[in-house]
Amino acid sequence: MLHRGHKKAVIAVAHAMLVSAYHVLAHRVAYRDLGPDYYDRRHADRVRHRAIETLQRQGYRVTLEAVA
């Protein structure tokens, strides 16, 4: 038995593929894969904040310092 979430996920992936295909055809450009870390690069602050909160919930005190 499938859950409703599975169907929504399938539709979301199909929609993303259709949007990509539309832009490739409309702008007449070659498809360029953005890479597996695209979300992390685009939303670096959000990813960093989420990682810090996860560690703090596990009982760690987190301080950040820039790498030289």
Examine the domain organization and report whether 22 and 49 are in the same domain. no
* pLDDT for the residue 16: 92
Q: How far apart are CA 52 and CA 54, in angstroms?
A: 5
pLDDT exceeds 90 at position 52: yes
Examine the domain organization and report whether 1 and 28 are in the same domain. yes
Examine the domain organization and report whether 4 and 27 are in the same domain. yes
Provide the whole-model pTM: 0.52
DSSP state of 30: -
Q: What is the extent of the structural domain holding 15?
A: 1-32
Examine the domain organization and report whether 2 and 25 are in the same domain. yes
pLDDT exceeds 90 at position 57: yes
Examine the domain organization and report whether 26 and 52 are in the same domain. no
Examine the domain organization and report whether 43 and 62 are in the same domain. yes
Examine the domain organization and report whether 67 and 42 are in the same domain. yes
Q: What is the pLDDT of residues 6-50, one digit of tens each?
A: 889 999 999 999 999 999 999 999 998 889 998 888 999 998 999
